[in-house]
Amino acid sequence: MTSTQLRSAEASSARPARRPHRAAAAVLGAPLLLAAVVAVVLMAFGLPAVKGSPHDLPVGVAGPSAASTLVVEGLTHREPGALAVTGYDSQDALVAAIRDRDVYGGIVVGPSGPTVLIAGAASPAVAQALTAIGQQLASAQHATVTVRDVVPLPAADPRGIGVAMVVLPLVIGSILPALALGRLGARRRAQVAGALVYSVLGGLSTAAVLHYWFGSLDGDYLAESGVMAATLAAGTLALLGLQWAFGRVGLAVGAVALVLVGNPLSGAMSAPELLTSPWREIGQGMTPGAGSQLLRSVTFFDGAGATGGWWVLAAWAVAGLVLVALPARRGHSAASK
């Protein structure tokens, strides 16, 4: 037997010995990896809800100067850094500030006890917290608290579940079309056109479900559809751009970021101010957070406080278009125009 044949025989005899080791490593490694993924998902979705607490939450106080000053000082020192308290000359001024989304709500100091002004449409969680604070103040004064919802949620969905849960469908609704359009191998212009047509149709259908079926929205249907379409377009175009520039890895990284970062940090289930910095800013700088707050502003507050959300969505959409406009990657040259 020649030396070459001998080496080949030795190599072939060694292969079966290595395969069981690799198989055993895979069997042990896969469960560890999956367990780590489950833990990461749990932390991403559970941590904001379990550990969330107010950070510079904007609230207002109105009433006689001496009494309101005492309440402001009490609230400020209650939990340092939790509340950002602003004083107002009258109840009407405080109501106007709530409707302009300058504050989430506030307390009107009166001789018969405090009146708590809330905006359930801005955040049911914050409304509940403000109500509890008002009850404590009333208890200290041996008075009765009055609660008034200035901007309530629709009667069909008084807890705002529909507005909170729509974020995840919008995230998935951005990932799936980007994946599908990329796999079709169409020209880049066709992919962009497909993404825009899909976003309009997706916005109309999603808003229709929330508005007419669930009753979670009670604003202008076309305006709500516009917010949904803009959110879908921003996410889809950004993912298309990442896929065009960096291939499947770019799409995968973008999708994971939307699901594990953008979705849980959106503040849709509570309020952005219940997240600490920099997570609050990161969440509001991504499409789920911007779209969620934009939907509340357009639907319940006549567009007040909507400017920032529009700019964020526009930035993501433009970034996606810029990436799509880059020279084609190898393998995309046939569909580069």
Chain segment 193-224, per-residue pLDDT in tens: 999 999 999 999 999 999 999 999 999 999 99
Calpha distance 174→212 (Å, rounded): 23
What is the phi/psi pair of residue 154, to 5°? -60, 145
Question: What is the average pLDDT across 31-54?
Answer: 64
Quick: pLDDT tens for 283-298: 999 999 999 999 999 9
Query: 264 is written with which tokens?
Result: 């849980």
Per-residue pLDDT reduced to its tens digit, 101-117:
999 999 999 888 899 99
Name the strand (E) or helix (H) holding 21.
Answer: helix 3-51
> What are the pLDDT digits (tens) for 74-104?
777 777 888 899 999 999 999 999 999 999 9
Q: pLDDT band for position 243 (50/70/90)?
A: very high
Token pair in block for residue 30:
């896969």
Q: For the chain, what are the domain ranges?
A: 57-149, 161-335
Amino acid at 320: G
Q: What is the mean pLDDT of residues 13-30?
A: 57
Mean pLDDT of all residues belonging to the chain: 86
pLDDT at 8: 53
Please write the tens of the pLDDT for every residue from 3-13.
Answer: 555 455 554 55
Which one is predicted more confidently, 67 or 334?
67
Q: How far is CA 48 from CA 163, 224, 263, 266, in A?
A: 17, 26, 11, 10
| Nearest CA among 317, 315, 297 for reference residue 306 | 297
Among residues 189, 188, 191, the alpha carbon closest in space to that of 329 is found at 188
- Sign, Cα dihedral of 186, 189, 195, 197: negative
- At residue 312, the pLDDT reads 98
Reported as type and span, the H/E element at residue 118 is strand 115-118
Query: Which pairing describes strands 83-88 and 106-108: parallel, antiparallel, or unpaired?
Result: unpaired
Indicate yes or no: pTM above 0.75: yes
